[in-house]
Amino acid sequence: MSKIRPDFVTGVAILSTGLLAGAFGYGAVNVAATFDVVPLDVRLTFHTALMQRNGVVMQTAMALAAISSLALALLSRGRPRLLAGVAAALVVTSFLVTRFGNVPINGLIKVWAVTTAPADHVAILDRWETYNVVRTVAALTAFVLVIVVSRLKLRDRARQLEA
């Protein structure tokens, strides 16, 4: 059985956490901001359609980011291990916030798109946006930590080659 290459795992972790942070970041900066300036019926219709497309893509990105960050932690030592472990925990946090924060509200939005929004819909949509910011910051921080881990590992390798 072949040995897992740490460089490959590092690359996958950088790519997957970067894609996750980028997707959430784009959504927070562009999509969510656009939701605030369009009529409610447009937001609800678009939000519902977007969530149907996002489900598989974002779940796959979160799973790959979590697994690769955890693998990076297991293949590392010292500070890189700790940082990669924190990155994995942050990716899991983004998943949990999505699953237990955003997804239930997405279900409400789906119903509102074909009926009417309740009187307190603004507060509920504000809560969705708060969850969105939390998961975006968690994913972005995980990405930065994985980059830091990769730089630390490169520095350590360079030191070993000099010795």
Percent of all residues in the chain with a pLDDT value above 90, rounded to a whole number: 84
pLDDT at 2 over 60: no
Instruction: Considering only residues 54 and 13, tell me which one the structure prediction assigns the higher pLDDT.
Output: 13
> Average pLDDT in the 133-151 region?
97
- Confidence check: pLDDT of 1 > 60: no
Q: Which long-range contacts (CB under 8 A, 24 or more apart) does 150-158 make?
A: 150/10, 150/13, 150/14, 152/79, 152/80, 152/83, 153/6, 153/10, 153/76, 153/80, 156/80
pLDDT in tens, 107-129: 999 999 999 999 999 999 999 99
**Model pTM greater than 0.85?**
yes
- pLDDT-based confidence at residue 103 (cuts at 50, 70, 90): very high
Confidence (pLDDT) at 144 = 98
Q: What average pLDDT does the segment 38-45 reach?
A: 95
Instruction: Indicate if the pLDDT at residue 29 is higher than 60.
Output: yes
